[in-house]
Copies of this chain bind each other. A is one copy, B any other.
Amino acid sequence: MRFFSDNAAPVADSVLAAMAAANVVDTAYDGDSLSRGLDDAFSTLFETRVAALWVSTGTAANALALGALCPPWRGIVCHRDAHINNDEAGAPEFFTHGAKLLAAEGEGAKLSPASITAVIDLIANDVHRVQPAAISITNATEYGLVYTPDEVAAIGALARARGFGLHMDGARFANAVAHLGCSPADLTWRAGVDVLSFGFVKNGGMSAEALIFFKPELAADVAIRRKRAGHLLSKGRYLAAQIHAMLADDLWLRNGAAANQAATRIAAAAGAGRLVHPVQTNEIFLAITADEAAQLRAQGFDFYDWAPNEARFVTSWSQPEHEVAALAKALAAL
């Protein structure tokens, strides 16, 4: 029973079916009609004109986005525990040609205007210090917490005031929107986000994420840099097909909601006393002893030892009901 990562989940049937339907002779790279249709599909979803590019990993999406917002000689404010800072093997540094990640603090991996200015206001404005050029936030965060539209807007206002770009890592954007019940537009461009990494792979897709530019003029250079980074697949129609399938009938949102609900049940069973962070999306961080962890593993549960006496459980869009029930029961019984 896998609660280790939502990357372990399978691909939604409709996604596989869309890929099979795309299996015809067609134009290479992103010249096919499915790829060409992404701008329209996302413009509809976001209620404004956007440019959209498929990429095959969230790491590439994030790194390309940051490269568009920050030149090599400046910096990007992010949370100390941000995925871009810790879990992408230096991809942001690679794609930006050496920009510096400027780590800020905040409960649950959430930044705020105060925690951002606590970092950047210490940076003297001279040529010796790396000057910030962008802010990156993760929604939902690495600990499963959600920024509300107002919280994003406060950071967006700061970004605009300082002339910074604002990137949102939305590897779990679906889970965030499902939790908030807000419109995707309110959570992004209306709150000042310039570029969104919109994740599908953790949520029912196979190998296609979307990079959404709310300033569409940013996309042209990124399309070049996507190719330069080896990320322009020669048969792009199979990626675009995945994304269209995820957007159809709001599958992305329904899948996000399903994962969240499973997590909510498990969190309730575990009891508030064990929760290291509130459970808002599909990640549950629990205080459990090594002995308890061993008991759970003996019952067949797979999960991540996040820290001493702390474990991470992640539910997926397709987590079987019986697994959720079993874990809930096991945790309640600890």
Contact = CB atoms under 8 A, between A and B. Distances in A.
Interface of A: 2, 4-5, 7-11, 16, 19-20, 23-29, 55-61, 63-64, 71-73, 75, 86-91, 93-101, 127-131, 201-202, 206-207, 221, 223-235, 238-239, 318
A320 to B, nearest CB: 9
A87 B25 contact: no
B28 A87 contact: no
A93 B130 CA distance: 11
A304 to B, nearest CB: 11
B89 A128 contact: yes
B7 A29 contact: yes
A51 to B, nearest CB: 14
Contacts of A238: 11, 206-207
B230 A207 contact: no
Contacts of A128: 86-89, 227
Given A225-B73, A230-B55, A238-B206, A90 B86 contact: no
8 contacts: A60-B230, A72-B97, A73-B221, A87-B129, A89-B228, A131-B224, A201-B234, A207-B239
B232 A229 contact: no
A11 B64 CA distance: 28
A25 B2 contact: yes
Contacts of A318: 25
Contacts of A98: 90, 93-94, 96-98
For A73, A86, A207, A233, which residue has the most chain B Cβ atoms within 10 angstroms? A73
Contacts of A96: 98
Nearest to A201: B234
Contacts of A129: 86-87, 89
Contact of A230 (B10, B86, B91, B100): B91
